Amino acid sequence: MYICPMYSSELIKGTLRTIVLNLLKENGRMYGYEITQRVKELTDDKIQITEGALYPLLHALEASEDLETEVEFIGKRQRKYYRLTKQGKQTSKKKIDELREFIETLQILLDANKGTSHGLIN
């Protein structure tokens, strides 16, 4: 029994694809479950990717030829590794750049009007 102190996860919408592409870019190849655990670990449990979100996304990225797969067996249990295709590397770069820009824009919005007569000291 554990509590989940996550973000009201509407925020994750729209960023998940980029997060996954970025992880694959940095790590070469990963399998689904590994991705969920890595994100959980890197974000100190603050972002937890659900499997219901991840697997369909991976399938879609494979269908669009941004990812390719190879299946391996650990004992009798299958693991499906994903890696970026050449096209996927471009997509990845584009998405990551876009996300960084978006974050900058957000920060402008969040900081707008700070320090004017309105919002003085809180």
Partner DNA sequence: ATGAATACATAAGTTTCTTATGTATATTTG
Partner DNA sequence: CAAATATACATAAGAAACTTATGTATTCAT
Interface residues with DNA (CB under 7 A) are 9-10, 12-17, 31-34, 37, 49-53, 55-59, 74-80
Applying CB under 8 A, which of residues 74, 77, 118, 121 lies at the interface with a copy of itself? 118
The structure tokens listed for 122 are 């809180």
| Cβ nearer to DNA, comparing 17 with 66 | 17
Our finding on whether 28 is near a copy of itself (CB under 8 A) is: yes
- C-alpha–C-alpha distance, residues 26 and 105, integer Å: 25
Residue 11 interface partner, choices DNA, a copy of itself, none, CB cut-off 5-8 Å depending on type: a copy of itself
Our finding on whether 8 is near a copy of itself (CB under 8 A) is: yes
Applying CB under 8 A, which of residues 34, 40, 85, 99 lies at the interface with a copy of itself? 99
The structure tokens listed for 100 are 């960084």
Residue 31 interface partner, choices DNA, a copy of itself, none, CB cut-off 5-8 Å depending on type: DNA
Q: Give the long-range contacts of residues 55-61, CB within 8 A, separation 24 or more.
A: 57/16, 57/17, 57/20, 58/20, 58/32, 58/82, 61/17, 61/20, 61/21, 61/88
